[in-house]
A and B are shown apart, each in its own frame.
Chain A
Amino acid sequence: MGPADSAPPVIRVRGLHTRFGAQVVHAGVDLDVRKGEVLGLVGGSGTGKSVLLKQIVGLLRPSAGSIEVLGKDALNLSDRDRLNLQSRWGLLFQDGALFSSLTVLENIKVPLQEHTTLPPDLIEDIARVKVGMVGLAPDAAAKYPSQLSGGMRKRAGLARALALDPEILFLDEPTAGLDPIGAAAFDELIGSLQKSLGLTVFMVTHDLDSLYAICDRIAVLIDKRLIVGTIDSLLQETHPWIKDYFHGPRGRAAVAAHGGAADSREG
């Protein structure tokens, strides 16, 4: 089940440039996401993490460069291929982005109703299973998004993102706005779903604990480029931002909490 180095990458970004007017956000970003891994994308505010995520899922277009997802050129797709590809990934937005006029269960049913020909009772059952799998109480299924707490909205959004059993799961700051206990539980949930569903996970995050808890590799967006590596290899990096990030007070606390992945760094 481990990430196989020989397999073609699930997401492959090459030479990506992004400009907004005179402002350059990305200058030559390269990235490979391997099948079955959890990749965390970190970087300071305004470095274009969410922009990169939106470009990969096709909500924004880069100024130059290529993006391949599941072996298909994501920037030049026919409408039909795009639809096909979209049903093979799920995206959890920062605050869930649930449709406010629909209940949680109806939200989860939407992609199933639109993209499959399953009978209604099976769709209902699948949606209920997803509610259970993301750890929502059964009575939350009939509630509207405005009646849920932030954490529950995220879980419901996750259930909708997983509705079509996607191969790739994109997460935009999944633990932002959750209390530490809720955040840890959410990390655990993503980890266990990733294992049982065999997902490839691409997550934008600020949360050091998430990085230590579930990420196999980490991509740091810095100076308009990406530096990718495991936590251990990034701890050896000498770039000041990366040093501050991992060796700052919060970074040290996270290392201590997760069993000293960096024991050797002083030695």
Chain B
Amino acid sequence: MAGETGSISMAWEADQWVLAAAGRWDLAAVAMLEPRLRTADPGRSGANVCLDLSDLSALDTAGSLLIDRLIRRLRDQGHNVAVVGARPDLCHLLKEVQRAARLDCAQPPPHKPALDLVQRTGKATIGALQSGAELLSFLGLVTVTLLRLLRRPGRIRLTSFAFHLEQVGLNALPIVGLLSFLIGVVLAYQGADQLRRFGAEIYVVNLLGIGVLREIGILMTSIIVAGRSGSAFTAQIGTMKVNQEVDAMRVLGLDPVEMLVLPRMLALMVALPLLGFYAGIVALFGGAVMAYFYLDITFGQFLRQMQLAVPVEHLFVGLSKAPVFAMVISLVGCYEGLRVSGSAESVGLLTTRSVVVSIFLVIVIDAFFSVLFSYLGV
């Protein structure tokens, strides 16, 4: 069977143009033969071409395809092609390939860049509106399930709730603490730099107290939690969806919203206000440390100024937003997880989406709260 690599010779014999193929026409040989065959031409129109395959020692699909393409091209150019001398087993493969190559494929329509842009914009807009509407109806579904569950509190999954409380709350303490401390340091430093010009360093306490307790603490925590836990919700539920675990639940008469969504949502709604409070305290501590070393404000002074200038309402305003943010993050995370379909790729895609959408919504809702509170004069 061995034989040398494939070759082809072309010559005129009497009034025939003879193409003699020899050796192994396999994938390795095809790369070398292809450029020669692409330009092979008898040099006059309507020639009689004889393709002699009798010296062929081996043939695979790539080689067969090359022969098939050669025959088709020469026939299209108006030559008469005759094939002679192929061994029966090679002939069988050649016929098989010719059959497969004739199956015509529907070509995708050609691209039109300008139209594409319009199409994509339109698709994205409609997609965004649709997923907004779906998210709202998912909120409705979750609310109804929650209300139903409140009538029969025994059905609340306490084990699952506790597990998620640990995951999203307790385990988030180190990272939330570290980042909040650094935020406190940065704010105090930047604020002090400006205020020092007016000799009003002490007001750095007002800046920190109001900024951190009212806005930054809870906002930062929500963003960290969206990246940390919202994505985890999507990935967990999405993987269960891929494994058909969610379908299995439905078939067994278990409600995925009750089993998967509510424990996560309730856990996050409990954990996020606590994390927000913790983040505020740690950030103030970071600011106080900075003030002590950089501005010579002692901890005592810091606390006294705090008591004078920052009424406790700011803390309540900040914390009142936490359950709403928690609900948005868990809702988006679970919703995107349940949207996963089939492939591993969609888990990754929707996890990214979940983080982007929940951070976006958290910031939009925060802005909405600011407007609301200023109306109410809080």
Binding site for B on A (CB under 8 A): 1, 100-101, 116-119, 122, 125-126, 128-133, 138-139, 141-142, 144-146, 162, 164-165, 195-198
Given contacts A1-B89, A116-B27, A138-B105, whether A129 and B343 have CB atoms under 8 Å apart is no
A101 adjacent to B106 (CB under 8 Å): no
The stretch of B94-102, B161-169, B193-201 that contacts the partner chain: B94-102
A138 adjacent to B61 (CB under 8 Å): no
Given contacts A119-B34, A122-B65, A130-B61, list 10 more A-B pairs with CB under 8 A. A118-B31, A122-B34, A129-B61, A129-B65, A131-B103, A132-B100, A146-B341, A146-B342, A165-B61, A197-B60
B20 at the interface (CB under 8 A from A): no
Q: Which of B27, B31, B108 contacts A165 (CB 8 A)?
A: B27
A116 adjacent to B31 (CB under 8 Å): yes
| CA–CA, A151 and B99, complex, Å | 22
In the complex formed, the residue of A with least CB distance to B92 is A196
Measured between beta carbons, the chain A residues less than 8 angstroms from B344 are: 100
| CA–CA, A78 and B343, complex, Å | 35
B62 at the interface (CB under 8 A from A): yes
| Min CB gap B26→A, angstroms | 7
21 sample A-B contacts, Cβ–Cβ < 8 Å, listed by A number: A1-B89, A100-B344, A101-B343, A116-B27, A116-B31, A122-B65, A122-B69, A125-B69, A129-B101, A130-B61, A132-B99, A132-B100, A133-B100, A138-B103, A138-B104, A138-B105, A138-B106, A142-B108, A197-B60, A197-B93, A198-B89
B65 adjacent to A126 (CB under 8 Å): yes
A128 adjacent to B105 (CB under 8 Å): yes
| CA–CA, A196 and B92, complex, Å | 7
Given contacts A122-B34, A138-B104, A138-B105, whether A133 and B97 have CB atoms under 8 Å apart is yes
| CA–CA, A121 and B327, complex, Å | 53
Binding site for A on B (CB under 8 A): 26-27, 30-31, 34, 60-62, 65-66, 69, 89, 92-93, 96-97, 99-101, 103-106, 108, 341-345
In the complex formed, the residue of A with least CB distance to B108 is A142
Given contacts A100-B343, A142-B108, whether A164 and B27 have CB atoms under 8 Å apart is yes
A129 adjacent to B105 (CB under 8 Å): no
In the complex formed, the residue of B with least CB distance to A193 is B96
B60 adjacent to A125 (CB under 8 Å): no
Main secondary structure of the interface of B (DSSP, over half): helix
Q: Which of B30, B66, B100, B345 has the most CB of A within 10 A?
A: B100
Measured between beta carbons, the chain A residues less than 8 angstroms from B93 are: 196-197
In the complex formed, the residue of A with least CB distance to B99 is A132
In the complex formed, the residue of A with least CB distance to B343 is A100
| CA–CA, A136 and B342, complex, Å | 21
Measured between beta carbons, the chain A residues less than 8 angstroms from B92 are: 195-196
Given contacts A1-B89, A126-B61, whether A145 and B104 have CB atoms under 8 Å apart is no
B108 adjacent to A145 (CB under 8 Å): no
Measured between beta carbons, the chain B residues less than 8 angstroms from A117 are: 31
Q: Which of A1, A118, A133, A198 contacts B30 (CB 8 A)?
A: A118
| Min CB gap B58→A, angstroms | 9
B105 adjacent to A141 (CB under 8 Å): yes
Q: Which of A118, A129, A144 contacts B34 (CB 8 A)?
A: A118
In the complex formed, the residue of B with least CB distance to A119 is B34
| Min CB gap B206→A, angstroms | 53
B343 adjacent to A146 (CB under 8 Å): yes
B31 adjacent to A139 (CB under 8 Å): no
| Min CB gap B101→A, angstroms | 5
Measured between beta carbons, the chain B residues less than 8 angstroms from A118 are: 30-31, 34, 62
B106 adjacent to A139 (CB under 8 Å): yes
Measured between beta carbons, the chain B residues less than 8 angstroms from A125 are: 65, 69, 101
Measured between beta carbons, the chain A residues less than 8 angstroms from B342 are: 100, 146
| Min CB gap A38→B, angstroms | 17
Measured between beta carbons, the chain B residues less than 8 angstroms from A164 are: 27
Given contacts A118-B31, A196-B96, whether A165 and B343 have CB atoms under 8 Å apart is no
Measured between beta carbons, the chain B residues less than 8 angstroms from A144 are: 343
B62 adjacent to A165 (CB under 8 Å): yes
In the complex formed, the residue of B with least CB distance to A129 is B100
| Min CB gap B342→A, angstroms | 4
| CA–CA, A126 and B101, complex, Å | 9
Measured between beta carbons, the chain A residues less than 8 angstroms from B97 are: 129, 133
Measured between beta carbons, the chain B residues less than 8 angstroms from A165 are: 26-27, 60-62
In the complex formed, the residue of B with least CB distance to A7 is B1
Q: Which of B61, B65, B89 has the most CB of A within 10 A?
A: B61
Measured between beta carbons, the chain B residues less than 8 angstroms from A196 are: 92-93, 96
Measured between beta carbons, the chain A residues less than 8 angstroms from B66 are: 122
| CA–CA, A197 and B89, complex, Å | 9
Measured between beta carbons, the chain B residues less than 8 angstroms from A101 are: 343, 345
| CA–CA, A122 and B27, complex, Å | 11
Measured between beta carbons, the chain A residues less than 8 angstroms from B65 are: 122, 125-126, 129
| CA–CA, A195 and B61, complex, Å | 13
B61 adjacent to A139 (CB under 8 Å): no
